[in-house]
A and B are shown apart, each in its own frame.
Chain A
Amino acid sequence: MAERRIAVVSAGLSNPSSTRMLADRLASATVAELRTRGIEATVDVFELRDVAHDITNNLLTGFPAPALETVVNAVVSADALIAVTPIFSTSYSGLFKSFIDVLDPDSLTGKPVLIGANAGTARHSLAIDYAIRPLFAYLHAEPVSTGVFAASADWGGAADSVAPLADRIARGARELADAVARRQPTAASDPFDPASYLGEGGSFGHLLGGLADE
């Protein structure tokens, strides 16, 4: 079976960041789960901090600088997206949302997404479901039902011992791997291919509707 590509977007601001730690765990668990299904996957991890200026510039100028364009292309063409953001003031970070805002609104349609988020305490954990999940629903992406939230305490001794982080990561990864395995590998779509905007075998006459009997 064709190799799949997972894009990981981490919106943490510090370096090293606990957002990135969660992102890496989710990515490696997903690759492992896919392997048990006989599917090889590669992972592209992107820290939005590295392209933060380009994201702002894109909002102002309408186009992505080359480094950001690479990230955007990798994300929209991936077989699945792992999106991880810190929770700031009840929701995804502004940088995370700004990145989503520079994507073409149709570009994540149908894409399996595993949502991750982190914050200082577990009191922020529902932000995944009331703030982040609706964003992906609006974009017609297909987030798996498990979102993985990591509080600072999850990384140490005071962690949740009933549903430990490792189990939640494994569950999210399993669901994402299932979603990827159910789908055909993402076919590269070239917006400059006439078949993309006219349909296969189409002519401009079809865009003209009844004006051309072609």
Chain B
Amino acid sequence: MDEIVDDTSRWSGMQFGLFSVSDITADPTTGRTPTEAERIRSTIAIAKHAEEVGLDVFALGEHHNPPFWSSSPTTTLGHIAGQTDSILLSTATTLITTNDPVKIAEDFATLQHVSGGRVDLMLGRGNTGPVYPWFGQDIRQGLPLAIEHYDLLHRLWREDVVDWEGQFRTPLQGFTSTPRPLDGVPPFVWHGSIRTPEVAEQAAYYGDGFFANNIFWPKEHFQRLIALYRQRYAHYGHGTPEQAIVGLGGQVFMRARSQDAVNEFRPYFDNAPVYGHGPSLEDFTEMTPLTVGSPQQVVDRYASMRDTFGDYQRQLFLLDHAGLPLKTVLEQLDILGGDVVPVLRKELAANRPTEVPDAPTHENLVRAAYGDGPARQARPNANRGDNLTAGPPYADAPSDSGGVAAAGVQDPAAGAAKPGSAFGAAATRKGI
């Protein structure tokens, strides 16, 4: 977008927000560990405050072991949706390997409806070994699981009646995932990855977004991963490499005076889960996007991300972890929303090429699918038994029931691509 951003409270080109891991960690400066109830309430307060300070996205992780609490993200996000008006709710990540894709389809379509379209999701495989066997899976099959499960999820949101058979899940005959996606448009999907080129390939194949969770690793690695995704996005006919939809992670701690930020954050850094007791704060800030300092330092660091990765659509920050008290996190949000993001919006909007697509929202997905025409409103027929022999299950669906949305829905970046063909044979294939 070349437009000047006069009102820096909103810019459709990019979304800025938080992603939260949901760790319950002792505050290393006091030794006190919050209760689960306290941390859950705090997270909800943080999400609401993120909206108040003008952020665009709040994303929540999924874990199935202590000291994390967020085992059921759509429950939490549904509550937050009811308490907010504008913030987009997402995940970081939803486990595509160990969750049933049918349940993901149902949960997120429901969340779309209750939130008025303020939802998308980021898929990940999960790296906690025991979670796989706890959910009846094998971590060695992580990638095949992610590929098969997503292919089913993709169909469940686009075809009213699905016949499906695969390696990992019980077959489906004449299955309809309800409710149908809001306005007939599935939630936008980001494929999150730290290291796996196949995930970049998967995101490119479907024309979905790619989120490089770069907060723990050096940028050179992610440059290659994102370059691969952009190149393959174009290869599969969704647009130019510059039109691919990219999200990045970030991690910041800010105070007006740089040295105050370093002094205050250091004990949290030194004892943090994941990287604590490892590299020094100084080394880690040099090698990863972690920036500890003044708001201006954060602006400078993150305004330069596009020089490394190209113009992108979503920037999420990790603020709420490692035992930081709620009060501190809310102060960080005030600084981020007040002094950092408005400046970043201005700087990143400047000189952004017009062909770079805006960040995905329900509204622009609906526009891409239907133009100015009316969006689909699914209206079930009377219960007709087996879902197979008596015509389509929805009154508004054409009789072949291949999916009203399937032919029309494209992400906004794929405007130039031909419907259907862009997704390859898998997407245009009708029920058996």
A residues in contact (CB < 8 Å) with B: 56-57, 60-63, 65-66, 69, 191-192, 194, 196-198, 203-205, 207-209, 211-214
Contact = CB atoms under 8 A, between A and B. Distances in A.
A61 B224 CA distance: 20
B278 A192 contact: no
B197 A205 contact: no
A196 B148 CA distance: 20
Interface of B: 147-148, 151, 167, 194, 197-198, 201-202, 204-205, 216-218, 221, 224-225, 227-228, 232, 236, 274-279, 283, 287, 424-426, 429
Contacts of A197: 197-198, 201
Contacts of B287: 63, 65-66
Contacts of A63: 216-218, 221, 287
Contacts of A211: 151, 426, 429
B424 A192 contact: no
Nearest to B274: A61
A196 B201 CA distance: 12
14 contacts: A57-B283, A61-B216, A63-B216, A65-B279, A66-B218, A69-B218, A192-B227, A192-B228, A194-B232, A196-B197, A197-B197, A207-B201, A211-B151, A214-B424
Given A192-B227, A197-B198, A207 B232 contact: no
A212 B424 CA distance: 8
Given A197-B198, A211-B151, A205 B278 contact: no
B202 A204 contact: yes
A62 B279 contact: no
Contacts of B425: 205, 212-214
B307 to A, nearest CB: 19
Contact of B283 (A65, A203, A212): A65
Contacts of B217: 61-63
Contacts of B426: 205, 208, 211-212
Nearest to A63: B217
Contacts of B232: 194
6 closest A-B pairs by beta carbon, nearest first, are A60-B278, A204-B205, A212-B426, A63-B217, A212-B425, A57-B278
Contacts of B274: 61
Given A63-B218, A194-B201, A207-B198, 14 more contacts: A57-B278, A57-B283, A60-B276, A60-B279, A65-B218, A194-B197, A196-B197, A204-B201, A204-B236, A205-B426, A208-B151, A209-B167, A212-B426, A213-B429
